[in-house]
Amino acid sequence: MKLTGAQILWECLVREGVEVIFGIGGGAVIHLFDALPQYPIRFVLVRHEQAAAHAADGYARATGKVGVCIATSGPGATNLVTGIATAYMDSSPVVAITGQVPTPVIGTDAFQETDITGITLPITKHNYLVTRVEDLPRVVKEAFHIARTGRPGPVLIDIAKDVQFQETGFSYPDQVHLPGLRLDFSDDENVQAAADLLRQARKPLILAGHGVILSGAGRELRALAERAQIPVATTLLGISAFPESHPLSLGMAGMHGFYHVNQAIQEADVLLAVGMRFDDRVTGSPSRFAPNAQIIHADIDQAEIGKNIRPAIAIVGDAREVLSKLLQLVPPATHPEWLAQIGQWREESETDNPLNENHDGHPLPQYVVRQIWEVTQGNATIVSDVGQNQMWEAQYYIHDRFNSLISSGGLGTMGFALPASIGVQIGRPHETVWVVAGDGGFQMTIQELATVVQENLPVKMAILNNGFLGMVRQWQELFFNRHYSGTRLLGPDFARVAEAYGIPGFTVREKDQVTPILRRAMEIPGPALIDFHIHSEENVYPMVAPGRAISEMIRRNSYQTV
């Protein structure tokens, strides 16, 4: 029996286990949409294609499965670009499907034609333009394989319109032939050498990144840390790889890492960095990063080894596999002096903690975040946006549940949180999902409130509203003599905007309203939005100025370089 290209695409997706796709239709995918209702795939209609890519990304991060988004040719495809780049930078397995103008007119600047494979070349792991219906099954098979294999990432499939209605016999390949796609794993010698270093260490430290979450290595990480009594710091995307209330947990490192975290990195003698890539937001000045440490770098992507930091020992491999092997080789140990030293630094960190201060009037954002943690009993999945809100969330929500923070780290995409939360909530239908965003980022994709309502998703939304593009304003305050150029934001009444979409909306202007309103929002079975009018010039502290060593931090109390 012959099937059309459109039918073949959906047959392939069903075989790949796809249950939901996010997108918007259009002329160049109209045949695909015509065939879609025949298949057991939920379609989520978003309001802008960027949101489709973020939702697919959020779904992928929340479930570990490949997220799928779809858009038409031309502007539909180009609108996906920010979302694809976000997924690429954060190694998220996404397959993006776009329609292309019919094969005979490709290259003629036809209506809604754009070279989307050319455009997405640098921001996809791989991409395809399908001009023959016979190629479609192989391409889909390869795309899903590439997206989820090794270091995950987005793959785009651009399908010419005529391919979608051409017919051919269908069979789905059971394996892929990709000689250039290799999975490396280091020799056991390297793992043994790493274990030896860890055994001899007096001040060991683990720095865990997103790779630990992507590989599902939470148990192995915890077992290794406990076995050898090694404290664990994380990157932003490594948050929730290790339970944050664990005595060995230090928290997030880097530009906005707490004093004790960065101090421990700078003093450590052996640093096991696993599933992370030494981003500049983590290392500060790379030449002055962890100056006393022999660094063991374990990552699944060989190209990350030596890219930013030269390690003493490199292990190429999946984080879970690496940690399992280390667990067998590293003997039990204790480091009482080292942990006591870190305990002292931790006390020092506490002197910066604004939650220890009395305040009234506008709530402090740190307090709002901590109260979200209280009312959710730490059980929520948080989807944070980008900027100050993201850092306050990272600092003051205590993530004990594995993979409970979803955020745009590498690309730092404002507007990520709301659309991503759609995918997260669909991927985790029985969990409480909270968006934590600023008033700036929220307005970048605010139209997705309609999708939340149409899909009946109980997403809770907290806007930390300071009337500024807050992180940029903070930089202007600290480094540009309070020259607030282009950062003052006039926002809408978010509660009334929410109400207009049919979502209960609340406004909180006083600290003592924070918890009662949070509780009310939690009691509402569907979505709810709270607009928190926070202190407008509150900053994220500590802060490491760009190019400085991570120990050179501007702290809340001193307001000067320590």
Partner 1 sequence: MRHTLVAMVEDQPGVLNRIASLFRKRNYNIESLAVGHSETPGISRMTFVVEGDDRVIEQVQKQLYKLVNVIEVWDVTRMPAVVRELALVRVGCPPEQRGEVTELVHLFRARVVDVAPDSLIVEITGTEDKVDALLGLLKPYGIQEVIRTGRVAMVRGNHRSSEPTVSSPQ
Q: Write out the residues near partner 1 by the rule CB under 8 A.
A: 117-118, 121-122, 125-126, 129, 146, 178-182, 184, 186-187, 190, 301-303, 305-307, 314-316
Min dist CB 307 to partner 1, Å, is 6
Min dist CB 37 to partner 1, Å, is 33
**Catalytic member of 19, 43, 112, 374:** 112
* Residue 471 annotated among the catalytic residues of the structure: yes
Min dist CB 187 to partner 1, Å, is 8
Are 305 and 311 in contact by the 8 Å Cβ rule? The answer is: yes
* Residue 161 annotated among the catalytic residues of the structure: yes
**Catalytic member of 161, 203, 460, 511:** 161
**Catalytic member of 2, 111, 167, 350:** 111
**Catalytic member of 444, 471, 543, 553:** 471
* Residue 49 annotated among the catalytic residues of the structure: yes
Cα–Cα distance list, 416 to 88, 122, 280, 444 (Å): 14, 20, 21, 9
Bridge partners of 462, per DSSP, are: 436, 530
Q: Which is nearer to partner 1, 299 or 448 (CB)?
A: 299
Chain center to CA of 78: 21
Q: Which is nearer to partner 1, 180 or 525 (CB)?
A: 180
Q: Which is nearer to partner 1, 182 or 430 (CB)?
A: 182
Min dist CB 316 to partner 1, Å, is 4
Are 534 and 366 in contact by the 8 Å Cβ rule? The answer is: no
Tell me the one-letter amino acid at 209. G
Are 242 and 208 in contact by the 8 Å Cβ rule? The answer is: yes
Question: First and final CA of the chain: distance in angstroms?
Answer: 74
Q: Which is nearer to partner 1, 180 or 332 (CB)?
A: 180
Q: Which is nearer to partner 1, 301 or 499 (CB)?
A: 301
Min dist CB 302 to partner 1, Å, is 5
Bridge partners of 382, per DSSP, are: 405, 434
Are 512 and 227 in contact by the 8 Å Cβ rule? The answer is: no
Q: Which is nearer to partner 1, 139 or 514 (CB)?
A: 139
Q: Which is nearer to partner 1, 145 or 535 (CB)?
A: 145
Q: Which is nearer to partner 1, 40 or 179 (CB)?
A: 179
Task: Find the Cα–Cα–Cα–Cα dihedral 506, 510, 511, 513, rounded to 10°.
Answer: -40
Region for 240 from its dihedrals, namely left if φ exceeds 0, alpha if ψ lies in -120 to 50, beta otherwise: left
- Max Cα separation, the chain? 75
Q: Which of 362, 323, 162 is nearest to 242 (CA)?
A: 323
Bridge partners of 543, per DSSP, are: 554
Q: Catalogue the E-assigned strands of 385-542.
A: 405-407, 433-438, 460-465, 505-508, 528-533
For residue 295, count CB atoms less than 10 angstroms from its CB and return exposed for 0-12, middle for 13-18, buried for 19 or more: buried
**Catalytic member of 11, 16, 49, 448:** 49
* Residue 455 annotated among the catalytic residues of the structure: no
How do the residues of the chain divide into helix, strand and coil, expressed in percent and rounded to 5? Answer: 40, 20, 40
* Residue 125 annotated among the catalytic residues of the structure: no
In 10 A of CB 265, how many CB atoms? 27
Q: Which of 329, 226, 322, 227 is nearest to 272 (CA)?
A: 322
Min dist CB 278 to partner 1, Å, is 13
Min dist CB 118 to partner 1, Å, is 7
Q: Which is nearer to partner 1, 307 or 482 (CB)?
A: 307
Give the phi and the psi of residue 320 in degrees, each rounded to 5: -65, -40
Tell me the one-letter amino acid at 317. G
Min dist CB 180 to partner 1, Å, is 5
Residues annotated catalytic, as ranges: 49, 111-112, 161, 471
